[in-house]
């Protein structure tokens, strides 16, 4: 008899696709039957602004409660939406291979950022995106928008699915890829133009910490975990934690592990008006062993690499703080 595993998910299109992929992966990696359980979060149930509900944690908390109360065995989160603090009783047991973490412009008529006319209206709800857009193009009108991916795409002129009142929106390329909407992308931004959010494009697969390490579920999760992604995301999130900044902070970070075993992290903190920014980068040499699937089989090497990734994030954050990042971006207010 295969072990039954219940995987909890929110009901949004993005959450359902993400969870579906992880469910398929788990079922293919071990002797498991995976069942999906829909969890309604306060963020889905209540109306009103995100701020009045207490921020993005509202989406995460209900899934975590369902895990802790045993209503499901696995929860899948977008890593960039997860608070950096540890959740007691829970473990991120797998970080699957990351999608392209970069941000994407979805503009009318195939336009790129450079091609948008002065005064063009560009929608985003993220202070990080708004600040970097203003830095690149001070002449644009950055418009604060909310809603799921489809709602946002519907705001672009020429869209038949919404009001089309904007010239462009900026979204994570990863979400568009998962939803099969890459045809809307007109430009993908490298980190030196518009650095992504820490954790963007990656998923976190969370379970109760007392999961049986000898069981089929734990075996599948170990196989699903992708070392280069886990280490990159650890560095990015350690940076965010050290800056004491929240997910609403104008902070971008991009880390990647090279084939040479060198983990490189670049980060930017931008003044909300885009008129000033601080950028730093650093590297850490990690154990250059990983098998072809990117799995870490040696526990000691794995632990020391994770510590080195966290230290890299803290080091870059300290350099930014020493240069005045907290004051520049009013980081305390972003929490």
Ligand X SMILES: NCc1[nH]cc(CCC(=O)O)c1CC(=O)O
**SS3 of 192, please?**
coil
C-alpha dist (Å) from residue 180 to 9, 42, 82, 149, 150: 19, 27, 24, 11, 11
Rounded distance between C-alpha atoms, residue 300 and residue 20, angstroms: 33
Q: Give the whole-angstrom CA distance, residue 179 versus residue 185.
A: 12
Residue 10 touching ligand X (CB under 6 A): no
**Footprint on residues 192-211 left by ligand X (CB under 6 A):** 200-201
Q: Which is nearer to ligand X, 200 or 277 (CB)?
A: 200
Nearest residue to ligand X on Cβ basis: 175
Q: Which of 65, 81, 165, 318 is catalytic?
A: 81
Give strand pairing partners of 144: 124
**How far apart are alpha carbons 163 and 167 in whole angstroms?**
11
- Taking the complex as a whole, the smallest distance from the CB of residue 199 to ligand X amounts, in Å, to 7
Question: Count residues contacting ligand X (CB under 6 A)?
Answer: 10
The residues, any chain, with a CB within 8 Å of residue 199's CB and separated by 6 or more, are 78, 79, 80, 82, 233, 236, 237
Tell the smallest beta-carbon distance from residue 253 to ligand X (Å): 13
| Nearest residue (CB) to ligand X, 123 versus 274 | 123
Work out how close the CB of 108 gets to ligand X at its nearest, in angstroms, rounded to a whole number.
18
For ligand X, the closer of residues 50 and 111 by Cβ is 50
Q: Smaller CB distance to ligand X: residue 53 or 328?
A: 53
Binding track, positions 64-103, relative to ligand X; x by CB under 6 A: --------------x-xx----------------------
190 is a catalytic site residue: no
End-to-end CA distance of the chain: 47
Q: In the stretch 149-178, what mask flags binding to ligand X with x, by CB under 6 A?
A: x---------------------xx-xx---
- Distance, in Å, from the CA atom of 66 to the CA atom of 135, rounded to the nearest integer, reads 42
Q: Which residue in the block uniquely carries the two structure tokens 């970080």?
A: 95
CB 188 within 8 A of CB 102: yes
* Cβ neighbours of 263 (radius 10 Å): 23
- Per DSSP, helices labelled H in the chain are 13-29, 42-45, 50-53, 57-68, 127-136, 149-153, 173-178, 216-224, 227-242, 299-322, 325-329
Least distance (Å) from ligand X to the CB of residue 150?
11
- Could you give the angle at which helices 13-29 and 216-224 cross, rounded to 10 degrees? 110
Nearer to ligand X, 185 or 301 (CB): 185
Residue 78 or 229: which CB sits closer to ligand X? Answer: 78
81/147 Cα distance (integer angstroms): 15
Distance (Å, rounded) from C-alpha 271 to C-alpha 226? 34
Shortest distance (Å) from residue 141 CB to ligand X: 20
Nearest distance, CB of residue 174 and ligand X, angstroms:
4
The footprint of ligand X (CB under 6 A) covers: 78, 80-81, 149, 171-172, 174-175, 200-201
Catalytic residue positions, numbered: 81
């Amino acid at each position: 008899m295969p072990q039954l595993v219940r995987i909890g998910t929110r009901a949004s299109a993005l959450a359902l696709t993400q969870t579906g992929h992880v469910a398929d992966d788990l079922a293919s990696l071990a002797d498991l039957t995976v069942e999906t359980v829909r969890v309604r979060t306060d963020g889905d149930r209540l109306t009103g602004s995100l701020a009045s509900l207490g921020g993005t944690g509202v989406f995460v908390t209900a899934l975590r409660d369902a895990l802790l109360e045993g209503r499901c065995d696995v929860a899948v989160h977008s890593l960039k939406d997860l608070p950096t603090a540890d959740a007691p009783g829970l473990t991120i047991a797998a970080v699957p291979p990351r999608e392209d973490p970069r941000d994407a412009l979805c503009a009318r008529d195939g336009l790129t950022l450079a091609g948008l006319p002065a005064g063009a209206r560009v929608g985003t709800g993220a202070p990080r995106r708004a600040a970097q857009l203003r830095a690149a193009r001070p002449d644009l009108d950055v418009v604060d928008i909310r809603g799921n991916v489809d709602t946002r795409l519907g705001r672009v002129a020429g869209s038949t699915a919404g009001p089309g009142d904007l010239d462009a929106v900026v979204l994570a390329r990863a979400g568009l890829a998962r939803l099969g909407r890459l045809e809307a992308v007109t430009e993908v931004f490298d980190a030196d133009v518009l650095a992504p959010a820490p954790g963007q494009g990656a998923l976190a697969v969370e379970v109760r910490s007392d999961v049986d390490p000898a069981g089929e579920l734990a075996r599948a999760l170990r196989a699903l975990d992708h070392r280069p992604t886990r280490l990159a995301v650890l560095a990015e999130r350690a940076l965010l934690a050290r800056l004491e900044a929240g997910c609403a902070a104008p902070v971008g970070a991009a880390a990647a592990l090279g084939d040479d075993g060198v983990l490189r992290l670049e980060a930017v903190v931008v003044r909300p008006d885009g008129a000033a920014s601080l950028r730093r980068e650093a590297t850490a040499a990690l154990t250059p062993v990983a098998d072809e699937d990117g799995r870490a089989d040696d526990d000691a090497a794995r632990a020391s690499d994770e510590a080195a990734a966290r230290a890299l994030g803290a080091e870059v954050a300290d350099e930014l703080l020493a240069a005045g990042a907290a004051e520049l971006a009013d980081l305390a207010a972003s929490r």
